[in-house]
Chain A
Amino acid sequence: MIESSGHEGGHEAPRGFLRRYVFSTDHKVIGIQYFLTAVVMALVATVLAMLIRVQLAWPEKAVVAPETYVSLVTMHGTLMVFFVVSLALVSGFGNFLIPLHVGARDMAYPFLNMLSFWVIVPGCVLMLASFLVEGGAAAAGWTAYPPLSALGKAVPGSGLGQTLWLLAMALFIASFTMGGLNYVTTIVNCRTRGMSMMRLPLVVWTFLISAVLGLLSFPALTAAAILLLLDRHAGTSFYLPAGLVFGNETLPHQGGTPLLFQHLFWFLGHPEVYVLVLPALGIGFEVIAAFARRPPFGYRLSVYSILVIAVLSMIVWGHHMFVSGMNPYLGKYFSIVTVLITVPFSVLGLNLIASLWRGRIRLDAAMLFALGLVSAIGIGGLGGLYLGTATSDLYFHDSYFVVGHFHFTIGTVTFFGIYAGTYYWFPKMFGRRMDEGLGRVHFWLTVTSLFPMFLLMHYQGLGGLLRRTYDPTVYAYNAAARGLNLSITLLAFGLGAGQIVFLVNLFRSMFAGERTGENPWQATTLEWTTESPAPHGNWRREVPSAHRSPYEYGRNGGAEDFVLQSAEKA
């Protein structure tokens, strides 16, 4: 074994800048590439959000044109869900962490992994380029409902912008599918000796289940998008009903149903929420264990809850469609299964909280964000009860209550997961620490602006304010709720300022952060048994074996209160 102990499968450390940092097959480089791509896309998506908020706070100034406003809303949602959170959390951290956690030298299919990244790059370029084409970017909402998205002349953004949107989404799905195949095979087949499934760190479980969900749900959007492209460009009528009038002209389409698209879209769209939220919770478990110096409460229960959530998440999509004209009996069913999902989800939330019980808690920036994540789950989940119940959703649908709700769940939980993960694994990525003081400033600026901001949106929704409204002053019924818009916009500016602190910290620490050793947090999982940053092939010596659970904290008392997962039992 000695002669080949350094590398496996002919995967030699590459030389030359291009092979090492650009066209790399090393999962750690690819993970960081995804992460940095997501940072760029996040900058764009945040600027869009600020423009939206400026327009809403001062509608009389008409900062943006109405048709631009709908593009802003559409692209902010699309970029954040698919090109920021998906890329940073699932593709970024997933790639970086899975082989290190399971004890593999790389992904099962390193070349496929590289391909998945270089497929998303043109996807990002197409998405951004759509701002520059005639008519501007797509404007049919991030859900791209027909007929708006199916008729090329419906609004300016329905033209080339919408076509580019569909093509970029196709590339995203292709990339995500390749990534998912790699995750599943690596986690199941490439674990090190002793790493049984029940010894996997919880974050790896969440990546596994999220990858399976992605593989099973994304094809529905592929099918939906193919049919939509044909309705747009080939004159078919999959989604377009008879009697559509455009200008003075009756369109030739007949027989299609827009509801079909909604079903196909949400068959992907709802599992996608869990594809993103589950890994964030997984990061929460890792960080809370390391900073509370306790094993996470109820490991097995958490694993089973994740599995139950995965199954339920595939059969609840209709709760996005209560007011769509769907059969009311179907609505009843979707209400019941939606409320059922709160059971395993509460188990996960309570397990996270119980993991703190009698811990010796260290409040580093990573831990602060992990705790923030837990509170966002609580508030987001509470709002979800009102939206999952068909009767109350009839009132709340398409109001700012929904906007506030999903920004707590798919927005805050995922972003806090990304931040907690960044502060926690940054030393393993770059061999340096992020600045702790700036990290705390980042956290407090973020929570003090973010929580009131999205809570106020719930109040606006209660008051009847509708989302995607360009100018709330034109409708009398918005008078009561729109007064909060200015406060929300100012809070949004504060939130934006907090993220600048993060970016400064991120890029400064890459080059000037304090250098760290193998295991700066005294953590237990396998990635902390190799040097920081981890070398090509992950371990210079033999790959460590797993001899115990991944969370042996608080074992010895004293300074060395942890035992590495790779430590042999006495």
Chain B
Amino acid sequence: MNGNGATLATRPAPLGLLGVLATVGMLFAAFTAAYLVRRTAADWRPVALPAIAWANVAVLVSSGAAVEAARRTGRGPWLLAGLGLGVAFLGGQLLAWRDLAGRGVFLATGPHGSFLYVLSAVHGAHVLAGLGALAYAGARPAALGTASAFWHFVGGIWLYVLVVVSVL
């Protein structure tokens, strides 16, 4: 019950989170649409994904597991582990970019490579936001439910992106 005793005072956080997820989801849907249109052009040559991309997936999934453990147990070390693995994922993504560049695949080399860079960069920005949210939840445990839900969503988005860029 909050101050004035008159407001419904349900918690706005779950709905606010849903709004964020919807708008972020639509962003990646729009990129997917662009991807599907662009890949029909004659100059589309798929680029092999860097091997480290799959290791990065493992890091991201374990980070999600650690954050989930933190949410269920309320223990700080799990959260720290989740944060550390999230940072490690971003480092791994940078290594993946170096791998691409080492093979001569730069941002403007070809359309598939362009999408690999763009999608991982846009996703990386959301990972940064997620790390910020987790760090905030470290200081304010009440926010951990919302922050971890966003973190799982960001992880799920990356699995989705990988399926798009490797299967389609």
Contacts and interface: CB of A to CB of B under 8 A. Distances in A.
Nearest to A227: B34
A257 interface: yes
B16 A260 contact: no
Interface in A196-227: 215-220, 222-224, 226-227
A230 B107 contact: yes
Interface size band for B: 35 or more
A227 B107 CA distance: 11
Nearest to B27: A219
Contacts of B140: none
B158 interface: no
Contact of A264 (B16, B22, B33): B33
A365 B62 CA distance: 63
B30 A238 contact: no
B38 A255 contact: yes
A190 B8 contact: yes
A238 B12 contact: no
A191 interface: yes
B111 interface: yes
Contacts, number: 142
Contact of A109 (B7, B12, B108): B12
A189 B10 contact: yes
Contacts of A215: 19, 22-23, 26
B19 A181 contact: yes
Interface string A236-262: 111000100000000000111101100
A256 B118 contact: no
B108 A191 contact: no
Interface stretch (A50-58, A125-133, A303-311, A538-546): A538-546
Contact of A543 (B6, B29, B30, B43): B6
Given A223-B30, A226-B118, A235-B108, A193 B7 contact: yes
B34 A192 contact: no
B41 interface: yes
A217 B26 contact: yes
Interface in B1-35: 2-12, 15-16, 19-20, 22-24, 26-27, 29-31, 33-34
Nearest to A105: B4
B166 interface: no
Interface string A4-40: 1111110000000000000000000000000000000
B19 A180 contact: yes
A252 B9 CA distance: 59
A301 to B, nearest CB: 26
B4 A216 contact: no
A186 interface: yes
B27 to A, nearest CB: 4
Contacts of A6: 3
A66 B41 CA distance: 36
A535 B96 CA distance: 56
Given A189-B11, A263-B37, A238 B111 contact: yes
Contacts of B26: 215-217, 219-220
A543 B7 contact: yes
Interface in A241-293: 242, 254-257, 259-260, 263-264, 267
Contact of B114 (A8, A105, A230, A257): A230
A254 B31 CA distance: 19
Contacts of B2: 8-9
A542 B4 contact: yes
A223 B27 CA distance: 6
Contacts of B7: 8, 103-105, 190-193, 543
A120 interface: no
B167 interface: no
A177 interface: yes
Given A181-B16, A185-B15, A216-B26, A256 B41 contact: yes
A8 B34 contact: no
Most chain A CB inside 10 Å of its own CB: which residue of B6, B8, B24, B122 = B6
Interface of B: 2-12, 15-16, 19-20, 22-24, 26-27, 29-31, 33-34, 37-38, 41-44, 107-108, 111, 114, 118, 122
The 3 A-B pairs of least Cβ separation, nearest first, read: A235-B108, A255-B43, A8-B3
22 contacts: A1-B5, A105-B3, A105-B7, A108-B16, A180-B23, A184-B15, A188-B12, A189-B10, A190-B8, A190-B9, A192-B6, A195-B8, A215-B26, A218-B23, A237-B43, A237-B111, A237-B114, A255-B41, A255-B111, A256-B38, A256-B111, A264-B30
